[in-house]
Chain A
Amino acid sequence: MSRQAGRGTESKKMYWYLPFISPSASMHLMNSELFTLTYGALVTQLCKDYENDEDVNKQLDKMGYNIGVRLIEDFLARSNVGRCHDFRETADVIAKIAFKMYLGITPSITNWSPGGDEFSLILENNPLVDFVELPDNHSSLIYSNLLCGVLRGALEMVSQHLPFQ
């Protein structure tokens, strides 16, 4: 499902420094606070619906997955990135373009495994938790677990089956 950017011999380079919205897409920008608070309402509702944190985590992951499989198309259309040639490129695209576009942050990429098939994204400023403190009785809740599902779903659609934690 990758889009050909038509960049010829330059197609290997990652134009992450270019504006993340492709010229043909219109600018649909908003401040993130309404999203943050709506996400909070979602998590709160799930905590009402499910007794234990593990079930909430699973549900968030599942919802995220369903979102990711749709979001990837929007991402590819807006960002105009070409096909990633290796996993490192994928990591860069996720961190520098996708996160920037949908959450307004750029996590750092660290902790590459020796085999080059595992890495960590460190979010210094996670907008989803802007107003949040986890109460004591929800210590196992992975509040932002939706994001893991989104990444998993999106990557699955571009044929990289990967587990995300």
Chain B
Amino acid sequence: MSRPPGRKQENRKISRELFVLTYGALVAQLCKDYEKDEDVNICLDRMGYSIGIRLIDDFLARSAVKKCRSYSETADMIAQVAFKMYLGVTASVSCSSAAGNEFSLILDKNPLVDFVEELPAERASLCYCNLLCGVIRGALEMVHLAAEVTFLQDRLKGDAVTEIGITFLRKAEDRKHKRNK
């Protein structure tokens, strides 16, 4: 595990709402800073990436999970354990390719949009929750799994569900697994 034994590990649980509203403030700020939705989406993804590469450490320490042996296990881990831990919801997973490297995570309930009714008309292409894609991508990269993560469906845009697509890009390396830090 990456955490030295002396580090205090508080299992602090909080109610989501302050986080959700703060996230909204972040997106609103980015919408002030960038005119185009595409730029906001990129910025959210990038921020999420920076968060993900740090969050993975915390996740591995807290969850004490063993190394995943397949993409499928990894996708399950994200949807059932990580989402539960950091967002308080679980997603359902389905494999969407015969090659076994593309997965869909379906969120029935997306807490990040709890206070958002709909996107404003001038922000129709905004991927409001794009931070999540970046977080997953960054976290996976730190465990040597390159992946593309995007929103395939978004309830905020009128789709029936919220669906995150994860495409693993290379075969998972299964040698000695160094967690640096």
Which residues on A are within 8 Å of B, measured CB to CB?
20-21, 27-35, 37-42, 45-46, 49, 63, 66-67, 70-71, 74, 78, 101-105, 125, 127, 131, 146, 150
Contact = CB atoms under 8 A, between A and B. Distances in A.
A28 B21 CA distance: 14
B83 to A, nearest CB: 9
Given A42-B29, A70-B115, A104 B12 contact: yes
Chain B, interface size: which category?
35 or more
Contact of B14 (A35, A37, A46, A70): A35
Contacts of A101: 14-15
Contacts of B62: 31
B74 interface: no
Contact of A33 (B15, B25, B58, B115): B58
B118 to A, nearest CB: 17
A64 B12 CA distance: 22
B86 A38 contact: no
A46 B29 contact: yes
A37 B18 contact: no
A35 B111 CA distance: 13
A121 to B, nearest CB: 16
A75 B117 CA distance: 20
Contacts of A42: 22, 25-26, 29
Nearest to A37: B51
Contact of B30 (A34, A45, A105): A45
Nearest to A78: B15
Contacts of B23: 38
B12 A28 contact: no
A66 B111 contact: no
A41 B50 contact: yes
A131 to B, nearest CB: 7
A39 B16 CA distance: 13
B16 A28 contact: yes
